[in-house]
Amino acid sequence: MKKPISNKAARRYSVRGRVQGVGYRAFVQHAAGGLGVRGWARNCDDGSVEVYAIGAPEQLSELAGYLWKGPRAADVRHVDESEAGVEEWSDFQIRY
């Protein structure tokens, strides 16, 4: 069940390693949906995945753990995290 977002914060993550072509964005979308986090994930030209997430600080912290894990075929080597401005998103989307 999705948790309502109160005390909204936003983070931008850059995930590096083997994270493209392994279902990473769908994994993040599923994890975010389960946590009630909104935002998006997209592949970048340099082989990384960028994630923009909006939620309560505890939701974002939990999502960060999932970002480090990834799906079975992924090999996450590094996750950079930075603060971001809060935008309005109704759900979590995969961007192309």
Cβ atoms of residues 43 and 82 within 8 Å: no
Cβ atoms of residues 73 and 20 within 8 Å: no
Catalytic site residue from 16, 18, 42, 43: 43
- Which residues fall within 8 angstroms of residue 24, CB to CB, at 6 or more apart? 15, 41, 49, 70, 71, 74
Distance CA 62, CA 39 (A): 15
Verify whether residue 25 is a known catalytic residue. Answer: yes
Residue 59, H or E segment:
helix 57-69
Catalytic site residue from 25, 38, 72, 95: 25
Verify whether residue 43 is a known catalytic residue. Answer: yes
Catalytic positions are: 25, 43
